[in-house]
Chains A and B, each alone.
Chain A
Amino acid sequence: MKGRALVEIVLFSIFIFSFAAYSQYYFDPASPKLYLNSHLHSGLSLTVNNDYSKTAQKVPTPILLQTEFAGGNNTADTLTAAEQDARARRLLPEDMSWMENLMWGTHGLFTSEPLNRTERKGELKLRRTMLTWHQRLGLTTWVLMGATVLAGQLTLNGNRRFRSWHSPLAEATIIGYSATAVLAILAPPPLIRREGEHGTVFYHKLLAWVHAAGMILLPILANNIFVHSFERGQRGPRQIDVARARAHQITGYITFATFTASILTIVF
């Protein structure tokens, strides 16, 4: 049981770190971007970067592509580092979290320098693959989560045989949930990201905060449901603590409901 709990904690630590990093800009889009790799921008004026990043969404792409890629003598070799950086940034959305910058920025860990169109196309292809799998795994996880809730409820109703189903289903849900989240979090940034937009994806991610919190709480609460009884100072057999079981049950329902809602937001 302790080993299982440890695995769950490690999985969620990774997930929460990624989630927090990824979600940073959603809740403070106006905040200055934190470039972890800003030391790599040495020699570049921050103003220049910001100017280009601001025009990224406003300057039509044809200008970028016609001047940058469709010929002329402005090859990468003849450009200064600042120019290369600015051009590469126009391939990226305006708003990127520090984690996206770290991985997929102009000097990101997974990008070659300077970032060019061919590489960016590869990133977008990877993004689509990751997001397709995010949907597949998300739907699978939803089924698993529903089955876990059902098995848990049946166990609480007195059908003890479902307890042996509940635990493995919960573990499968945790694995599926973590993989689903990581796929979305680590995916390369999109082509466009408009500031202050409250579309379906915004609510999808907003609800993710709730079900992610639920997914952290659930295994913790589950590990505390069974307690030892004490009679005359002697430790007795393990028994269900009804209040704790109720807390786990309610958290499970809330988590499942918000997870369902987050899927439904994408539909509308």
Chain B
Amino acid sequence: MYKNIILSSFLLLFLSSTLFFNNSYAAVIHAEKNKSVIRYKLVHPLHTVDAVSKDINCDVTYDDSSYKITGVSVSADVLSFDSGNSNRDSHMGEVVDALDYPTVSFKSDTVKSITKDTLWVEGSLDFHGVTKPVDFKVAESFQSGETEFKGIFYISLTEFKIKRPTLLLMPVEDKLTLTFDMVVPKVLEKGT
């Protein structure tokens, strides 16, 4: 009799602990603004344009129980990109219709781990009012309480209905290279 009571008590205790003390949840971690950057590279027959934005909102959704990144969302103001020439940046603002579409954003719910330090991200890029699927590799590294994500991907300006800007009557190449370097203030451990 006593044995049954003791066993039942242990069972109840175990169940309640799993019900009430299970602290696994998906946390949203904001990337550090002063350390995270997005760059774009645009090639013109006469020279190459490199612009950088440090005004980025990046959220990484991380599941503590499964040790997995379950989502990523990134957005940046299109006028925040600085190529060192405000006339050029203003021109870019014109061609991407910054007054109508002020932000470029990326959202993903599919983040797969390929290797120990490489992720595969599939998501959608919203740029110039056009949403297109994009996927790319992300290199992950850990250092002093932070996780850094680096990656590169390419888009076509015309696919996003952007008229290619011209300089001295010559248009830039259609390919826009986007690179990013995001730093989140937490080591996002991976499950085994």
**Which residues of A are interface residues toward B (Cβ below 8 A)?**
60-62, 64-66, 91, 93, 117, 120-121, 124-125, 127-128, 132, 135-136, 139, 190-194, 197, 199-201, 263, 266-268
Contacts and interface: CB of A to CB of B under 8 A. Distances in A.
A266 B168 contact: yes
B90 A193 contact: yes
B162 to A, nearest CB: 14
B47 interface: yes
Contacts of B90: 93, 190-193
A132 B165 CA distance: 11
Contacts of A132: 166, 169
A267 B47 contact: yes
Contacts of B100: 117, 121
B94 to A, nearest CB: 5
Nearest to B84: A199
Most buried by B among A66, A91, A121, A139: A121
Given A91-B99, A132-B166, A201-B85, A61 B94 contact: no
Contact of B47 (A60, A201, A268): A268
Given A191-B93, A266-B167, A60 B86 contact: no
13 contacts: A61-B98, A62-B102, A62-B103, A64-B102, A132-B169, A139-B169, A190-B93, A191-B99, A201-B87, A201-B88, A266-B167, A267-B46, A268-B47
Contact of B99 (A66, A120, A139, A263): A120
The secondary-structure label for the interface of chain A is helix
B146 interface: no
A191 B102 CA distance: 12
B79 A197 contact: no
B63 interface: no
Interface in B87-121: 87-91, 93-94, 97-100, 102-103
Contacts of B84: 197, 199
Contacts of B166: 132
Given A61-B79, A62-B103, A139 B168 contact: yes
A197 B99 contact: no
Contact of B79 (A60, A120, A124, A200): A60
A266 B85 CA distance: 11
Contacts of B86: 93, 190, 192-194, 197, 199, 201
Contacts of A93: 86, 90
Q: Which of B47, B90, B169 has the most CB of A within 10 A?
A: B90
Contacts of B78: 61
A197 B46 contact: no
B169 A65 contact: no
Nearest to A59: B77
The 5 closest A-B pairs by CB, nearest first: A190-B90, A199-B85, A60-B77, A191-B93, A61-B102
Interface string B124-139: 0000000000000000
Nearest to B169: A135
B161 to A, nearest CB: 16
Given A60-B80, A268-B47, A124 B94 contact: yes
Contact of A192 (B46, B55, B89, B168): B89
Nearest to B168: A135
